[in-house]
Amino acid sequence: DVKVTQSSRYLVKRTGEKVFLECVQDMDHENMFWYRQDPGLGLRLIYFSYDVKMKEKGDIPEGYSVSREKKERFSLILESASTNQTSMYLCASRSYRPLGETQYFGPGTRLLVL
């Protein structure tokens, strides 16, 4: 059974803190993604990674960075958290195939920045 796990379900941080969100998949997938979900805005892509040590900006990368040192792990970093980064963060992974492969999602991390 496919599995994408995220390190925390709920997280409370202070403005200016450095925040790490971790995502691990056990499906040997090449592609991994970080999304942000806000009411009325749907899911917006922050960053994605085609493979280990590869990354590309998505639609809203400002204020975020990522790291992918191992195939199974994709980390999202908020260098200096701000209140407008309060949101639900979803990680997903997908196999590298050009046939509309399914993205598999983790349960999400709800981040509150005070």
CA distance 79 to 102: 30
- Confirm if 4 and 23 have CB atoms less than 8 A apart: yes
Considering only residues 80, 82, 107, 112, which one is a binding residue for another protein as defined by CB under 8 A? Answer: 107
Residue type for position 70: K
Considering only residues 7, 22, 77, 108, which one is a binding residue for another protein as defined by CB under 8 A? Answer: 108
- Which is closer to another protein, CB of 40 or CB of 62? 40
- Which is closer to another protein, CB of 62 or CB of 100? 100
Which residues between 74 and 93 bind another protein (CB under 8 A)? Answer: 90, 92
- Which is closer to another protein, CB of 37 or CB of 67? 37
Give the three-class secondary structure for 83: helix
Site pattern 36..75 for another protein (x: CB under 8 A): ----xxxxxx--x-x-------x-----------------
